[in-house]
Structure 1
Amino acid sequence: MKSLNLTALLLAAATATAAAQQADIEVDSLETIAVAPPAEPAEALSSSEPAQLEEIVVTAQKRSQSLQEVPISVTALDGGFIRETGAADLADVALYVPNVRVDADDLGSPQLFIRGFGTNAFNPSFESSVGFVQDDIFYGRPGYFTESMYDVDRVEVLRGPQGTLFGKNTIAGVFNVTTKNPTDTFSSDGRVTYGSFNTQRIDAGAGGMFADWGGARVAGLYRKEDGQLRNTFLNRDEEALEQKAARLKFRLFPFDSVTSDLMFQASDTSAPFWPYQLFKLDDDTRGYLEAFDAGVEDNPTNFRTQSDTAGFINKGSQTLGLRTQWAIGDIGSVHNSNAVLVLAGSRFHINQLNELDVSPADIARLDSHEHHEQLSAELRFAGETDTLFGLGDKVEFVAGGFVYDSRYQLRASINAGADIGSYLLTRDFCQLAGLPPGICGDGSNVSLPGLPIFGDITAPLIGPDNYAFDYLQDTLSIAGFGQATWHITERWAVTPGVRINREQKDVDSRGTPNCRLAVGDNPPCVISTLLMANAYDQRGLQRNEFDVSPKLVLQYFADTGVNLYGSYARGYKSGGFNSLSYTGEDLEFRPETADTFELGAKSEFFDRTLRFNATLYRTKFTDLQVLAFNGVFFDVSNAASATSQGLEGDFLWLTPWQPLQISGSFGLLDATYDDYRDAPAPVRDANGNLQIGALQDLSGKRIAFAPRQTASLTPQLSFPLPLGLGGRLAGDVIYQGDQFTDADLDPNTFVPAYTIYNARLTIANDDESLSLTIGGTNLGDKRVLNQVIDATFFPGTYFAQQANGRQLFVAIAAQF
């Protein structure tokens, strides 16, 4: 997509009123870890009134209610807190949320895990286990998680399953993002940030009501950074990134009781690709690669890599939505009734070229193009009655229907590089091909040299050579849902709910070898032979699924400020077909389901100066969808059942010393496979011997991406300064427990526990209209690996992805 032009966006939004939108989702906030907005320092110190926590009104159950009445495990971060911490994306936000992990370094295939469960989206067949909703619009591809995050009012994380009200593919939970809306009077705000590694960020928004019949808000983002990972072979930054985005919201009042919000937004992101480093090179692989670059190395924590392909990823989206709310009022015995209609349409694309061997040798590349289009509509009706057939107290309810129609297309190819001929004469290829050890050698000598000259000689003979994937998927989901809370007495309430969903997927899938010798259905092409792939053409594939997701909650409201709840909920993630199959066999995989029991407490103490919420849970997953590495690429299957159980909570304390407030979170997680007998085994056994394609029994073992403990602590001190200024000094202590980062639980993919420290100082005038923030993240420069996976083409070697080191930033913000 071409660079965004703000004038063009405004014109497009103004003329595109035939489609769909949303804007002001009723969700005001969920439990907020940071006071939002932060207290004005000078005023806070001089006030004689004791501070109290403000009541938070939420619509986590798609109707307005107090946070303390919401029987869901929820954490939310206020937009002001997000900006002050310097968070640039949802991965940064997730550090403050217990039992949640977001890995967004792969912009096209982010990985999200809640309570240890999530989806490796590298194979685009998989739909995310964590739903993404922004401004009441459901987005159906994982890549939307890495779209531009700006002009945000709050980010809410609802732990799953959330299938009753939010639908399919929320089996692990939902990220619910709400952006700012037009204010009653004109207002504007902006922030300019500059930081380490040439990080530049400008985001701003302005708007308000221009007449009694409507108003508007426009917002935009420009973000650019070089990143820390340096490619010394190509002399370029592999984590460089540029994002441009804009959003326009109209709020219209066509009738006294009707509010319509029209929204158009677009974003464009470009970056090099991939951000990986080699790890644990063996002698023969090192000897082969040193022939291409004498400086090749395998230190995974030095922010250096040596790949030869100038890869890239370009991604972007355009969304148009319309949200209309009609305040109906009383209808017979139903009071405060209202209807909401949300219509939305979105397009999303990813074009990428990345190197599959992450080395200075040109062995193979992945050229991939994804296009996604979706249309959605949700109509819901909410209200309340005085009793249920004369029994008990009031009943609050919401019911409605949802339709989602999408088309996803993938065209990708694995292309042979210029050095593929030399690779075919290496010990690594010999081992992958399963040839006898006597031919491959024992690694103590270079029995198969694999010299670069062999690639130069064979390249003209091999010519263009690739294996291509062509995948088309149409999805239609139709659901009806309903939920009601019956207040049996003043203290007791029960909430039943259910969602009935029917889905149909129609798929055409094809794999094709292409090369100079392409004669017949399965020609002897180099890449297809290396991948053990053959031609297939599967058209007219179809899946029809029917699911019922029930929910039942029992609540108790006490006089002490402690409200308790117990709940049961079921959710599911739909099945599908493998879009990256090499053989066309075993394409289909089943849906996975989850059943969760929770016991939770919502509490406020000490004259409403301490809010503490915690949840004890147990979740059982069945038919878990997994990716298994086969030595070259990933296969898709239903392979396991698993259980996750633990405790999570967060708190906000306005301490007796009024300038100090403390917030924090904690999570305890025990997530294990119940039954996973045919799991992929590490590529090397405990003695270092290769066992390519071997299986193992992981029943009873801890699953990957499931740290046993996570925690964060954020004290914030407000103090006065001369000239009517005030200051805030805040710091973060963020702890992540140890975890495996690959499904085979290879010890080499184990990441030990670590703690990082952040800090920031904000100086602002008395009304917070102008502020300066100086801060830093990972101040101890802790070197941490986000993920370690088996390397393609080099058995026994790994690809490592490194988390950010120390970064400093300065930001100037203004609001009027």
Structure 2
Amino acid sequence: MKQHQRTPLSLCIAAGLVALAAPAGSWAQSSTPVAPPVETLETVVVTAQKRPQKLQEIPVAVSVVTAQDIENRGISGFAELLGLIPNTTIDQNTSAQPTITIRGITSSTNNIGMESGVGVVIDDVFLGRPSAFSTQLIDIERVEVLRGSQGTLFGKNTTGGLINIVTSKPSRQFAAAADLTGGSYGLRQARAYVTGGVGDEMAAKLSFTSKRRDGWVENRNPAGPDLMSEDFDGVRGQLQGKAAGLSWLLSADHGRDRAVDNYYDVREGGLSAFDANGNDRSIATNGGDQFGRTIKGASLKLETQSQGINWVSITAQRGVDWYGRNDQDYTDQAILVLSRKEKQSQFSQELRASGQSGRLNWLAGLYYFRQKQDGVDRMVLDELTPVLFGLPYMPGFQEAADTIVHLDTRSSAAFGSGSYALSETVELNTGLRYTSERKRMNYRQELQQQVGLIGALAAEVAPFDGARKDAQWSGDIGLAFKHGKQLNSYLKMTRGFKAGGFDTTQATSADPGDLSFDPETVQATELGFKSILAGGRLRLNGAAFHMDYKNKQEQFFNGVSQRVSNAARARISGAELDLTARPDAALQVGLSLGYQDATYKDYLANAGKRLVDSSRLTASLSGQYEHSVGGGWGWMIRGDIQYRSKSYQQPDNDERYTQPGHSLVNLSTGLRSDDGRYALLLWAKNLGNKTYRTSTYSVDAFQTMYQAVNAPRMVGLELRVSL
């Protein structure tokens, strides 16, 4: 490993010990003086159903990560958020393709023609592609994780659940904050925001983040970069105002990645002789690894009220442009290079009206979404490839296959939901959505050949067009029960769907067919409860669920490329428990448990096998202790333990392609002044320096298996200043 890439652990520990020797007080996030801590839990308000509601009253399985949670854990990236949420996992071997799994349904889409089963929404704007949202967090107020199908208010592509990200909004009162972080592998990060009034009726806010980290996978080739690095700059601007009864919020953001963050290590097989190092985080490539991504977007939200009806309009334009290139044989020999270029743009318009009439709360809306995508996948066989096929070495040899795709999607929907109080203790909740979607695809594949070796992996495909139209009903119906001021329960049934699409990866036949696959549908039943116990010091929520899938879209690796097909039937049953307790003013503990039995019921020869990326058990335990020792300062220490059982990465549950069960320990400790102006936080992630396999695949042509592992222990020190 290049020595300049590490920030010595001893420096961070020494700085932390100096900080801990200072006077202490209570820990909080506000820049205003800190109020004395209370023993009851904070009331959490969410907008998971597109209107403010208390977490304990909403009949939905939802978990919330607040801004204070993010700060106290030293979180800066999206991948760190989900470890404490039951039946929810995330794997991220590349920023452009995070794999989020909720209740056995994954967002993994190594294919621009396949939609994600987990939706992501930022400030009421749905993102069409997983690659289209920033994996670095910029000034976040909270993140809401909704588990289970959200087919009424959010529509298609939320069969597994939804990540609802809410950013922090402008204030007319002047405020500013900044933080600096240094840590392992050359981590250096700066974040800041400033907000205040503009004129008589407006407020503005500007937020930015800049993050650099050297790669934690050593490239033994001096000419090549270390891998799994980070290089991100992002900015968001917001302008908020009100005039003549109309409230508006104009937002715009821009982010840029330049990291090299995709790697695999030779595990066994034909190319193992070229990687005799044996270190899971050390490889040798022959250079050229690249990753670049630009994300940008703007939205305008308008709100007004007329005759007791609340009207909302959200207009948004977003896009992502990214390019990745990898030495895909992961050796220092010139064998195989894969690259992908994707450009996506989307426009969306949502109109909503809501109100209350007697016992009825209602919401109705219209939604339109237009997305354009252009993608080029390029496979290059390099100089040494002929030798692997038993031919003489050919200096300058190179053959390539380019898969070129254009997709155009138009989707429109009408939806409505309502809750009706049947009595003081029983409420009927129901909703319905109709979605109509058209997709058009243009596909072609071009080969550049010398002796025809590329023909073993891809075929020349003449340009052709494909089209499909899908129309689906989705919705929910349920009952909510109030058993007292602090205990609620609910029963609901939902129907959701994920849109159909096209398999746009490399074709091995000159006549690949229409490449389309059908929508998947899910019918689910959920029974849950939410309670506040021990005089407000204990929050205990739980749910049990059962889901039946038809035509479940499944992605699998066939030894050459990722393919997509429909699994006729699949079934998932499970349960969740989420507990938060504050035994006294200084101590808060949390426990989450998630269990699921996710199996294919009818899918080729895979009936009875576990679904891809679905761990049977997830669990977490956290504890946070705050202590005021006078002198205007406070001390905080927090620990998190996360566990995830084994998961399979292929539908046939081949034991060679698994992520083993594993646990991680994260720790943070720090100081904050009682007036909220200064804070110092020392954190360690993967404190025990555990190593486990995160992903495995094989290339049949090389008879070689590859694996990637998790990040090693990371330590960092943050300094924060608020005005």
Normalised TM-score (structure 2): 0.92
CA shift, 1:157, in A, is 0.7
Aligned partner of 2:337 in structure 1 is 365
For residues 800-815 of structure 1, the aligned pairs below 5 Å read 800-815=707-722
| 1:648 and 2:582 correspond | no
Q: Is the 8 A contact 1:272 1:310 kept in 2?
A: no
Q: Which has the larger displacement, 139-148 or 554-563?
A: 139-148
Aligned partner of 1:614 in structure 2 is 542
| Separation in 1, partners of 2:524, 2:667 | 37
| 1:398 and 2:345 correspond | no
Q: Is the 8 A contact 2:345 2:372 kept in 1?
A: yes
Alignment counterpart, residue 286 of structure 1, candidates 272, 286, 305: 272
Alignment counterpart, residue 662 of structure 1, candidates 581, 589, 594: 589
For residues 132-171 of structure 1, the aligned pairs below 5 Å read 132-171=120-159
Q: Which amino acid aligns with 2:186?
A: N
CA shift, 1:38, in A, is 6.3
Q: Is the 8 A contact 2:34 2:676 kept in 1?
A: no
CA shift, 1:216, in A, is 0.3
1:265-296 CA-partner distances (Å, limit 9, x unpaired): 000001225321111x23x5434x3xxxxxx2
Aligned partner of 1:627 in structure 2 is 555
Aligned partner of 1:51 in structure 2 is 39
For residues 204-353 of structure 1, the aligned pairs below 5 Å read 204-234=192-222, 236-255=225-244, 257-279=245-267, 281-282=268-269, 284-287=270-273, 289=274, 296-297=275-276, 299=278, 302-328=280-306, 331=307, 335=308, 337-353=309-325
Aligned partner of 2:488 in structure 1 is 563
State the Cα RMSD in Å: 2.1
Moved over 4 A (4+): 35-44
CA shift, 1:704, in A, is 2.5
Alignment counterpart, residue 590 of structure 1, candidates 518, 539, 551: 518
Aligned length: 694
Aligned partner of 2:174 in structure 1 is 186
| Separation in 2, partners of 1:40, 1:535 | 61
CA gap of 1:43–1:138, structure 2 versus 1, over 3 A, is closer
Aligned partner of 1:474 in structure 2 is 408
Q: Which amino acid aligns with 2:522?
A: A
For the residue of structure 1 that corresponds to 2:258, the secondary structure is strand
1:316-354 CA-partner distances (Å, limit 9, x unpaired): 1110110001122xx3xxx4x210000000121111211
1:214-268 CA-partner distances (Å, limit 9, x unpaired): 010000010000131111134531111200010000002122x211100110000
| 1:73 and 2:51 correspond | no
Aligned partner of 1:293 in structure 2 is none
Q: Is the 8 A contact 1:314 1:352 kept in 2?
A: yes
Name stretches of at least 5 consecutive residues in structure 1 with no aligned partner.
Answer: 1-34, 290-295, 387-393, 426-449, 517-523, 678-696
CA gap of 1:794–1:36, structure 2 versus 1, over 3 A, is farther
For the residue of structure 1 that corresponds to 2:68, the secondary structure is helix
Aligned partner of 1:501 in structure 2 is 435
For residues 658-807 of structure 1, the aligned pairs below 5 Å read 658-677=585-604, 697-791=605-699, 793-795=701-703, 797-807=704-714
Aligned partner of 2:15 in structure 1 is none
CA shift, 1:640, in A, is 4.1
| Separation in 1, partners of 2:161, 2:471 | 20
Alignment counterpart, residue 444 of structure 2, candidates 510, 519, 522: 510
Q: Is the 8 A contact 1:324 1:340 kept in 2?
A: yes
| Separation in 1, partners of 2:678, 2:547 | 47
CA shift, 1:302, in A, is 3.1
CA shift, 1:470, in A, is 1.2
| 1:601 and 2:529 correspond | yes
Alignment counterpart, residue 464 of structure 2, candidates 538, 559, 574: 538
| Separation in 1, partners of 2:619, 2:237 | 37
CA gap of 1:473–1:572, structure 2 versus 1, over 3 A, is same
Q: Is the 8 A contact 1:205 1:220 kept in 2?
A: yes
| Separation in 2, partners of 1:780, 1:179 | 33
Q: Which amino acid aligns with 1:498?
A: L
Q: Is the 8 A contact 2:323 2:342 kept in 1?
A: yes
Q: Which amino acid aligns with 1:324?
A: L
Q: Which has the higher strand share?
A: 2
Q: Is the 8 A contact 1:36 1:80 kept in 2?
A: no
| Separation in 2, partners of 1:488, 1:807 | 54
1:652-690 CA-partner distances (Å, limit 9, x unpaired): 2111x321111232111111111122xxxxxxxxxxxxx
For the residue of structure 2 that corresponds to 1:781, the secondary structure is coil
Q: Is the 8 A contact 1:110 1:146 kept in 2?
A: no
| Separation in 2, partners of 1:764, 1:107 | 32
| Separation in 2, partners of 1:183, 1:660 | 31
CA gap of 1:112–1:702, structure 2 versus 1, over 3 A, is same
| Separation in 2, partners of 1:764, 1:219 | 22
| Separation in 2, partners of 1:560, 1:483 | 25
CA shift, 1:532, in A, is 4.5
Aligned partner of 1:485 in structure 2 is 419
CA gap of 1:306–1:422, structure 2 versus 1, over 3 A, is same
Q: Which amino acid aligns with 2:291?
A: I
CA shift, 1:629, in A, is 2.2
For the residue of structure 2 that corresponds to 1:81, the secondary structure is helix
Aligned partner of 1:381 in structure 2 is 353
| Separation in 1, partners of 2:54, 2:139 | 25
Q: Is the 8 A contact 1:42 1:720 kept in 2?
A: no
| Separation in 2, partners of 1:719, 1:106 | 39
Between the aligned residues of both structures, percent identity stands at: 27
Q: Is the 8 A contact 2:312 2:351 kept in 1?
A: yes
Aligned partner of 2:6 in structure 1 is none
Q: Which has the larger displacement, 81-90 or 546-555?
A: 81-90
1:150-204 CA-partner distances (Å, limit 9, x unpaired): 1111111111210110121111111111111112311112221111111111111
Q: Which amino acid aligns with 2:664?
A: I
Q: Which amino acid aligns with 2:719?
A: I
| Separation in 2, partners of 1:278, 1:805 | 19
CA shift, 1:574, in A, is 0.7
Q: Which has the larger displacement, 175-184 or 301-310?
A: 301-310
| Separation in 2, partners of 1:399, 1:406 | 24
For the residue of structure 2 that corresponds to 1:459, the secondary structure is coil
Which structure carries more relative contact order (alpha carbon 8 Å, separation 6+)?
2
Q: Which amino acid aligns with 2:411?
A: S
Q: Is the 8 A contact 1:41 1:718 kept in 2?
A: no
Larger Rg: 1
Q: Which has the larger displacement, 784-793 or 172-181?
A: 784-793
Q: Is the 8 A contact 1:278 1:297 kept in 2?
A: no
| Separation in 2, partners of 1:640, 1:243 | 41
Aligned partner of 2:395 in structure 1 is 459
For the residue of structure 2 that corresponds to 1:236, the secondary structure is coil
Name stretches of at least 5 consecutive residues in structure 2 with no aligned partner.
Answer: 1-25
CA shift, 1:468, in A, is 1.1
| Separation in 2, partners of 1:232, 1:478 | 51
Q: Which amino acid aligns with 2:363?
A: V
For the residue of structure 2 that corresponds to 1:272, the secondary structure is coil
1:692-714 CA-partner distances (Å, limit 9, x unpaired): xxxxx221122221112111111
Q: Is the 8 A contact 1:40 1:726 kept in 2?
A: no
1:131-166 CA-partner distances (Å, limit 9, x unpaired): 110011111011024443211111111112101101
| Separation in 1, partners of 2:286, 2:210 | 29
For the residue of structure 2 that corresponds to 1:164, the secondary structure is coil
| Separation in 2, partners of 1:543, 1:610 | 51
| Separation in 2, partners of 1:562, 1:361 | 64
For the residue of structure 2 that corresponds to 1:197, the secondary structure is helix
Q: Which amino acid aligns with 1:138?
A: F
For the residue of structure 2 that corresponds to 1:346, the secondary structure is strand
For the residue of structure 2 that corresponds to 1:558, the secondary structure is strand
